[in-house]
Structure 1
């Protein structure tokens, strides 16, 4: 892992793998860049794949508040440092919000936009008590209870049975993720109404049948607002679709990349 020092308070840990057209991956909230491992291993054989830890995740040591605009600016600085003029921007969950802000504010640097399971326009489809219970289990170190809630809230039913090793690996990434407790996102700046569906150019929307956060209502609405968008809904997947169906995600991203005009 390398580091870009933007200024005295902002240090961006990042990793680059592969050669070819550039793809930049943006994690979900508080998730480290390792969340993308199953996807990167396949994409890097054909593309130059960049991923980074946001200000409240992974190896970041940032403290203070930050906004979606700040993260978009971090991405622009990272691309500049890597001498990449344009990239396809891929965001999962919260990362899809960042991706849309980046595409809106830096259209000249956005070759294409891919949004995976991003909500924000419509409320989640779950009981908030489940999230509280999951947080309590994490704090108490009750991994078995936490795993049960992880699957119930974030995955398609039966994921742990269909792919036991994959479920455990996904849980490990999230359970062991460092928490940058001094960094707090300020959601008052750049609310969803300011960026939702504003991006221009080629777009791919990858959503999931059982996603409680990036719900079907979010998928349909975003698709209706982006004139060049293609919507794919994965059956048998939930909010963690990037891990649950990594092979399918890689195939969709690869097809999208290959269909773009050559630069």
Structure 2
């Protein structure tokens, strides 16, 4: 059953499953923008048999309350507060999209605590040509539900079932508007590309070939800067945890 932790005005909902002793350091799963901890259902079911696994709904997402967060670093502080509460000193970070940005922030601030890191469909700096930058800026001016629907729709590879996409659109639209729009700006402002060379932990970069939200070339630019990185490309869009859950789990299993 999920539990909750009060952190700085928010009630963070989390799951903490699997064996505690003799199973290696825990895996910590961090979801992305407008998503929730259930993005990791396949991975949780697999790894909880042999390892301790922890996942949470970020502030203002899923079953967690709270708003007011302005930066990726503040979300990283929430994750660390949960891990401190659980007395987890070292861990393997697995972050999807914005969750990967949070993971990099933690790895840079506390490298002694991160044993390995997996970045799924994530980057260290958002880069846009002039045309796409104008489109993204203009997209914030349309009605909120249309803004969410357009962003979630384009996150999936061509051919993914429409009814499934509509389910994720509805879930994302339930995220408070303040949280959605503030963190949209926080992701666009996020930039640690010039610092990723400081991240010395083994890192797996898993990316969807058809990802148009955070395209593969941007990930490869980041990969070049990592001292110890493995790259895996999977035939999917931006939502790898739900588009190709078994392939992602296999990649994680081999890496950890």
- TM-score relative to the length of structure 2: 0.82
Q: Go from structure 1 to structure 2 and tell me whether the alpha carbon gap of 1:156 and 1:12 turns closer, same or farther (over 3 Å shift).
A: same
- Once the 2 structures are TM-superposed, how far is the Cα of residue 63 of structure 1 from its aligned partner? 2.6
Q: Is the 8 Å Cα contact of residues 62 and 180 (structure 1) preserved in structure 2?
A: no
Q: Is the 8 Å Cα contact of residues 193 and 222 (structure 2) preserved in structure 1?
A: no
Q: For residue 176 of structure 2, what is the aligned residue in structure 1? A: 180
Q: Is the 8 Å Cα contact of residues 12 and 54 (structure 1) preserved in structure 2?
A: yes
1:156 aligns with 2:151: no
In structure 1, how many angstroms separate the alpha carbons of the residues matched to 2:16 and 2:40? 12
In structure 2, how many angstroms separate the alpha carbons of the residues matched to 1:65 and 1:137? 19
Q: For residue 29 of structure 1, what is the aligned residue in structure 2? A: 33
Q: For residue 99 of structure 2, what is the aligned residue in structure 1? A: 95
- TM-score relative to the length of structure 1: 0.80
After TM superposition, list the pairs within 5 Å mapping 1:1-263 onto structure 2.
1-7=2-8, 9-19=9-19, 20-21=23-24, 22-119=26-123, 121-123=125-127, 128=135, 132=139, 138=145, 150-151=152-153, 153-160=154-161, 168-169=163-164, 171-177=166-172, 178-183=174-179, 184-185=182-183, 187=186, 191-193=191-193, 195-235=195-235, 237-257=236-256
- Once the 2 structures are TM-superposed, how far is the Cα of residue 113 of structure 1 from its aligned partner? 0.8
1:185-222 CA-to-partner distances (Å, cap 9, x unmatched) read: 36387534465454221100001110012212122111
In structure 1, how many angstroms separate the alpha carbons of the residues matched to 2:139 and 2:76? 30
- Once the 2 structures are TM-superposed, how far is the Cα of residue 75 of structure 1 from its aligned partner? 1.6
Let me know the Cα RMSD of the aligned residues.
3.0
- Once the 2 structures are TM-superposed, how far is the Cα of residue 2 of structure 1 from its aligned partner? 0.7
Q: Go from structure 1 to structure 2 and tell me whether the alpha carbon gap of 1:124 and 1:36 turns closer, same or farther (over 3 Å shift).
A: farther
Q: Go from structure 1 to structure 2 and tell me whether the alpha carbon gap of 1:95 and 1:217 turns closer, same or farther (over 3 Å shift).
A: same
- Once the 2 structures are TM-superposed, how far is the Cα of residue 79 of structure 1 from its aligned partner? 1.2
- Once the 2 structures are TM-superposed, how far is the Cα of residue 122 of structure 1 from its aligned partner? 4.2
In structure 2, how many angstroms separate the alpha carbons of the residues matched to 1:137 and 1:17? 36
1:135-193 CA-to-partner distances (Å, cap 9, x unmatched) read: 759469xxxxx59x855x11222222xxxxxx644642441243134443363875344
Q: Is the 8 Å Cα contact of residues 31 and 57 (structure 1) preserved in structure 2?
A: yes
In structure 1, how many angstroms separate the alpha carbons of the residues matched to 2:49 and 2:224? 33
Q: What secondary structure sits across from 2:54 in the alignment?
A: strand
Q: Go from structure 1 to structure 2 and tell me whether the alpha carbon gap of 1:156 and 1:24 turns closer, same or farther (over 3 Å shift).
A: same
Consecutive unaligned residues in structure 1, runs of 5 or more: 141-145, 161-166, 258-263
In the comparison of the two structures, how many residue pairs are matched? 242
